[in-house]
Chain A
Amino acid sequence: MANCKEILNLIPLYADNVLAESEKDMVRRHIDSCKKCKQEFQFMTSIVSTAAELPEISVPDDFHKKLIAKAAVSARRKRTKRLSLYKQIGTVAAVAAVFALCVVSFGNMEKQPNIATNPDDYIVETPKASENPVSIIVKDEDTSEENRTDISKELSKEAVKFQKSISKKTTPSAEQKEDIDNTTPILKNPSTAEVAGSNTHPDISGATSGASAVMEEEIARYTVATVVVTENMSEQVTNILSSYEKDDIGYKVSDINTVIRSLAELGVTVEAKICDNIMNNYIIVED
């Protein structure tokens, strides 16, 4: 038999008819026999029904109008924000597209076929011996700027071949000497023995095509220093130059500035010129 305390706790839900069947039966049997619990049940159901009958509070008169106006403002703000976002997305997309285009273009530049592996694209004319033997005329079908670097590589190979051919001769040919003599002198005063020489690309003179015209800007210049040696200094000069390789032209000197300084300190006359048509810095000793 359930006690009153237990029943009192079940009455609120019994009033809503949400108890399990067994609990419902227990409560019904109890309140049928217990006056106090029956009164409690009546009190509870009255509270519930009174709450349900509380008067409806009127909505303020301008409630609806004010709300719709606020909603319209909110909708406009949302639209403006969305448009602004679309603009930003559009801008970002445009920038990304330009960037992607640059990346693709740059990638294509690097992927250009190596001219060295496709020599048939180019016509290389090796000059005849009676003509200027050091000139290499290159006619390049593709004169685009991207190919400058690859053209220079091909020309380097040609220049190396040429160098090997001239090294077989015992003395410089008349044409070679003339080329050396006729190049622009940049140094006569031995005290200022700083002479620049760069060793990047072989010299190509007389080039006429667009690509080789571009190549002229990248032509390396080598220095030829002519040293006039007196008898008493001959041995000292020879000592300085003995560690350098000598060929038909003269002593091949990589660190020509240092050597010219050393020779100048001896008091010898040094005449240096920047020359085209040679492949190294040279010191030529004249008695």
Chain B
Amino acid sequence: MTDEIKLIKRIKHGDMEAFSQLVAIYEKKAFNFAYRMLHDYGEAEDATQEAFLKVFDKIDTFNGKSSFSTWFFTVLNNLCLDMLRKRSRSAGAVSLNQTTTEDDEYELQVEDNSPGPYEQLQKKNAKEVLEQALTLISDEHRAVIVMREINEMEYEEIAQILGVSLGTVKSRISRARLALRKILEESKELFI
């Protein structure tokens, strides 16, 4: 039995120390995921805390069929996407452009009234430019980029978290990278 499974078993029996240890294992990765998704320190803290509390409340339902990491990041990803949707709604009217892709997946392209992505980018260094570019791609594209590039998750785990097929994950990652590449075209010289 892995250490993580032992911890979860103790948490099910009300062991708060075990929960504290589990939080310590995941809090950095979880917080960074939330920050990269939301690009807001306060919201990232709220989302991460809420995700931990949710899994704590429902710990009895965790049956170990998937890994705890998969379960936890599913909850956290959904919380972040909910917060982003609420933010979009409160920011004003948005127009949604839906296009079908090869694998029949609808792709949302959210347009708003702020200046275009190329005008926004400040030519500082590649990392700063990339951080800004991340805020300009769609929420769904950002999620797979953060999971793959920043959290270094495998394709299979990303598929489980998103609840989609491996083929859909590959397709989504490919399109997300191409979307980033398009935004970063003007700053190409920073990367090569």
Contacts and interface: CB of A to CB of B under 8 A. Distances in A.
Q: Do the two chains bind?
A: yes
Q: Shortest 3 CB-CB distances between A and B: which pairs?
A: A51-B149, A12-B177, A46-B191
Interface stretch (A72-80, A198-206, A233-241, A250-258): A72-80
11 contacts: A16-B173, A43-B181, A43-B188, A46-B126, A46-B192, A47-B191, A54-B130, A63-B49, A68-B16, A71-B56, A74-B56
B33 to A, nearest CB: 10
Contact of B19 (A13, A18, A71): A71
B163 interface: no
Interface string B5-37: 000000000101001100110011001100110
A50 interface: yes
Nearest to B191: A46
Contacts of A18: 155, 170
B35 A57 contact: yes
B57 A47 contact: no
A12 B134 CA distance: 16
A78 B57 contact: yes
Interface residues of chain A: helix, strand, loop or mixed (majority): helix
A64 interface: yes
Nearest to A48: B149
Nearest to A51: B149
Contacts of B49: 63, 66-67, 70
Contacts of A191: none
B174 interface: yes
A120 B30 CA distance: 87
Contacts of B19: 68, 71
A74 B49 CA distance: 13
A107 interface: no
A42 B181 CA distance: 11
A119 interface: no
B19 to A, nearest CB: 6
B16 A50 contact: no
A5 to B, nearest CB: 12
Contacts of B75: none
A54 B170 CA distance: 22
Given A47-B184, A51-B130, A67-B49, A75 B149 contact: no
A48 B49 CA distance: 29
B23 to A, nearest CB: 6
A9 interface: yes
Interface of A: 8-9, 12-13, 15-16, 18, 39, 42-44, 46-48, 50-57, 59-60, 63-64, 66-68, 70-72, 74-75, 78
Interface in B38-54: 41, 44-45, 48-49, 52-53
A42 B48 CA distance: 35
Contacts of A55: 127
A52 B53 contact: no
Given A47-B180, A63-B31, A75 B16 contact: yes
A13 B150 CA distance: 16
B23 A64 contact: yes
Nearest to B130: A50
Contacts of B131: 54
Nearest to A53: B127
A50 B27 CA distance: 23
B143 interface: no
B173 A13 contact: yes
A48 B177 contact: yes
B92 to A, nearest CB: 28
Interface in B134-192: 134, 145, 148-150, 152, 155, 170, 173-174, 177-178, 180-181, 184, 188, 191-192
Contacts of B36: 54, 57
Nearest to B56: A71
B53 A44 contact: no
A42 B170 CA distance: 20
B24 A9 contact: no
